[in-house]
């Protein structure tokens, strides 16, 4: 493992300036139209920021001197700041990202073969308090802005010096599985995901951008109207009684309502072959019994889905335990026999995971603002099939 200290690409916020980094294509076009400029100026700026990695408006040479001067007075391009960066011996890279006001969030890049998946945070902390999640334990501080969300992707590419490097993509997939509940920060998450898909920005296919939710049903219904990204749902239990304990938002939006909303999301997709990913964190003695696997198989029968089993990752404030490899295999087998495609999430970045608590502990001590951070392997999106 290697660690590098903080890197800052830009000074702190400038009073009253619009941060162009977080504007979607439509918002950027409107911004320039409102300034009395042509739409194509918006496209030029998008390319400078997201294709070229340029943050200095002075350097956007094709804008013309007078437009640059005008923009310098009212706008800025400001990514969040890297508080620290760690490299695992297996290629996983993890950042603690400092956002406006001093809060910290985690971003993780997990390379695997010819893919590299970036796990992005959407909030500082989380208000939903799922019983097995350390982000939930630290409470909720605030929503990230769209600039702070897309800025994590920008920073990841920048850290490899890979803007327009011609070496292919550094990040091939994005999962909204870092800190926070993305659907509770709806507008900013949608704007950032628009930029991920936008050809003038990152140009990722909708299959390669995944939003994970614990089940905020009204917001998921809204998402159906505006986005076609891939959907992952954190289910973790085969019935309401258990899910009410593990994922408290289930008391408001129970399983039947959530699965109905998932079905509607899939039905609205133009590509009818897509499926929901059901995430199921396996906790020893709580939700890993073979009977619960059978109940889950029955529950999901009418849903076009695949299932991702995530062995629980331990953290200091939790008494839950990770199940044995045998228990995971038994659970997996029941689901496979019932005809499901089932993957098991591997643990990556073990060495930086070990250092993760220390790293964040140090940062927290210095800033005195945030709580503990979840280990890298909690949000590891690498998946394999066991058996
Ligand atoms: N709030 C969203 C996205 C962030 S959590 C959601 O809940 O879906 C991303 C995934 O990490 C979720 O599936 C969550 O269940 C899982 N997770 C959280 N804490 C974990 C832990 N200690 N061990 C294993 N998986 C965990
Ligand atoms: Fe929030 Fe997701 Fe953690 Fe639940 S699992 S507390 S929704 S981040």
Distance 327 CA to ligand 2 centre (A): 24
Torsion of the alpha carbons at 243, 245, 247 and 249, rounded to the nearest 10 = 100
Q: How far is CA 123 from CA 179, 184, 186, 188, 334, in A?
A: 6, 9, 11, 10, 36
The CA distance from 228 to 193, in Å, is 10
Edge-to-edge, what's the strand order for the sheet holding 173-176?
2-7, 81-87, 93-98, 104-112, 115-119, 173-176, 209-213, 230-234, 276-282, 305-311, 342-345, 383-384
User: Going residue by residue through the chain (387 aa), what tens digit of pLDDT does each one get?
Assistant: 555 545 445 455 667 899 999 999 999 999 999 999 999 999 999 999 999 999 999 999 999 999 999 999 999 999 999 999 999 988 999 999 999 888 999 999 999 899 999 999 999 999 999 999 988 888 899 999 999 999 999 999 999 988 877 666 899 999 999 999 999 999 999 999 999 999 999 999 999 999 999 999 999 999 999 999 999 999 999 999 999 999 999 999 999 999 999 999 999 999 888 999 999 999 999 999 999 999 999 999 999 999 999 999 988 889 999 999 999 999 999 999 999 999 998 777 766 653 333 334 333 323 322 322 233 333 233 332 222
Residue 6, token pair as written in the block: 């903080």
Catalytic positions, please?
106, 356
DSSP E strands: which ranges in the chain?
2-7, 18-19, 75-76, 81-87, 93-98, 104-112, 115-119, 123-125, 140-143, 173-176, 209-213, 230-234, 276-282, 305-311, 342-345, 383-384
Phi, psi of 124 (to 5 degrees): -85, 105
> In this structure, which residue's CA is closest to atom 13 in ligand 1?
234
Ligand at minimal distance from the CA of 320 is: 1
> In this structure, which residue's CA is closest to atom 20 in ligand 1?
133
Which of 119, 125, 126 for a ligand 2 pocket mutation test, highest count of atoms within 8 Å of Cβ? 126
To 10 degrees, what angle do helices 186-197 and 217-226 make? 30
Q: Residue with structure tokens 């969300």?
A: 149
Nearest residue to 243 (alpha-carbon basis) of 179, 296, 298? 296
Distance 214 CA to ligand 2 centre (A): 7
Distance 43 CA to ligand 1 centre (A): 36
Q: Are 293 and 286 in contact (CB under 8 A)?
A: no
> In this structure, which residue's CA is closest to atom 14 in ligand 1?
234
User: What pTM does this model have?
Assistant: 0.90
Ligand at minimal distance from the CA of 347 is: 1
Distance 133 CA to ligand 1 centre (A): 6
Ligand 2 nearest atom to the CA of residue 214, by list position: 7
Nearest residue to 159 (alpha-carbon basis) of 116, 191, 126, 188? 116
The CA distance from 246 to 279, in Å, is 13
How many CB atoms sit inside 10 A of residue 198's CB? Answer: 17
């Amino acid at each position: 493992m290697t660690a590098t200290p903080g890197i800052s690409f830009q000074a702190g916020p400038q009073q009253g300036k619009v941060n162009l980094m977080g504007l979607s294509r439509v918002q950027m076009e409107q911004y320039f139209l409102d300034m009395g400029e042509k739409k194509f100026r918006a496209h030029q700026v998008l390319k400078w920021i997201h294709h070229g990695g340029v943050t200095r408006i002075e350097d956007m040479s094709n804008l013309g001197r007078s437009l640059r001067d005008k923009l310098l007075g009212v706008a800025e391009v400001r990514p969040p700041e890297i508080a620290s960066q760690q490299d695992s011996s297996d290629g996983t890279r993890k950042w603690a990202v400092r956002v406006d006001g001093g809060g910290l969030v985690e971003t993780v890049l997990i390379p695997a073969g010819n893919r590299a998946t970036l796990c992005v945070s959407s909030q500082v902390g989380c208000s939903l308090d799922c019983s097995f999640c350390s982000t939930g334990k630290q409470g909720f501080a605030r929503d990230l802005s769209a600039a702070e969300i897309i800025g994590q992707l920008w920073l990841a590419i920048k850290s490899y010096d890979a803007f327009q490097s011609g070496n292919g993509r550094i990040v091939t997939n994005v999962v909204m599985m870092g800190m926070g509940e993305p659907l509770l920060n709806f507008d900013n998450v949608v704007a950032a995901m628009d930029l991920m898909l936008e050809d003038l920005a990152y140009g990722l296919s909708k299959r390669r951008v995944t939003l994970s939710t614990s089940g905020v049903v009204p917001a998921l219904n809204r998402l159906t109207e505006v986005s076609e990204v891939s959907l992952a749902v954190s289910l973790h239990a085969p019935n309401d009684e258990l899910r009410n304990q593990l994922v408290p938002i289930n008391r408001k939006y129970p399983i039947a309502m959530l699965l109905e909303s998932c079905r509607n999301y899939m039905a609205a997709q133009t590509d009818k072959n897509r499926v929901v990913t059901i995430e199921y964190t396996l906790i020893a003695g709580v939700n890993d019994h073979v009977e619960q696997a059978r109940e889950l198989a029955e529950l999901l029968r009418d849903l076009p889905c695949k299932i991702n089993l995530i062995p629980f990752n331990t953290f200091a404030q939790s008494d839950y335990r990770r199940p044995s490899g045998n228990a995971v295999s038994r659970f997996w087998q029941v689901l496979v026999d019932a005809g499901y495609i089932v993957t098991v999430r591997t643990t990556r970045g073990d060495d930086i995971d070990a250092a993760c608590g220390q790293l964040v502990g140090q940062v927290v001590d210095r800033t005195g603002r945030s709580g503990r951070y979840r280990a890298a392997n909690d949000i590891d999106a690498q998946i394999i099939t066991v058996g």
